[in-house]
Amino acid sequence: MVFNFIKKKALKKIVESVKLSALSTDYTFEFRTVGIVLEKSEVGAIEKLVQQLQKIGVERHKIHVLVYDAETLVKDMSGVHSYKMSDFDQTGNSIKQEVKSFVEQPFDLLISYYTQDVAPLLWVTAKSVAKFKVGVSTVLNKVNHFSLDFAVLNAEDYMRNLNRYVEILKTKNN
């Protein structure tokens, strides 16, 4: 219990210190590789998010999912990994290879699909080297390039709005 408190404090400190890099001026908003980070209460949305991403041309094997605190819920799901507080050390670094690989993957898009400021979720978003990070406005917005305003998450609405705004950003970028 005390260790978890220390770990959470270390994770929060790291999140606060991380600076979000600006989007590259030549960023095209073409999504070939996508990472999704979410908490266990949203595991049911994984397949809907994947389906919506496939509709816009993202291949299934290029969609990677990381779920916080849901080891037993995702053990049989392809391309889905889980992590928990015990996967961090007291300095706030991940000791789990799947988490390290996820944050080091330069995804074209990272979807932060959670509505609460939970330190391990924020840590993954903040540490990710994804080119474009999209989250929900109720979450600490300094970790995302763009935030969608949702009181209740719905995968279809989330992706529909994301696609709408991406189309606007594409026209502004040209």
pLDDT for 173 equals 65
CA distance 131 to 136: 17
Q: Are 112 and 136 in contact (CB under 8 A)?
A: yes
Q: Are 129 and 106 in contact (CB under 8 A)?
A: yes
Q: Are 64 and 79 in contact (CB under 8 A)?
A: yes
pLDDT for 79 equals 79
pLDDT for 172 equals 73
What secondary structure letter does DSSP report for 25?
T
Q: Are 9 and 87 in contact (CB under 8 A)?
A: no
Q: Radius of gyration (Cα) for the chain, nearest Å? A: 15
Per-residue pLDDT of the chain (174 residues; tens, 9 = 90+): 566 777 878 888 888 888 878 878 888 889 999 999 999 989 999 999 999 999 999 999 999 999 998 666 666 677 789 999 999 988 888 999 999 999 999 999 999 999 989 999 999 999 999 999 999 988 888 899 999 998 788 999 999 999 999 988 888 766
Tokens read off for 96:
């789990």
pLDDT for 174 equals 61
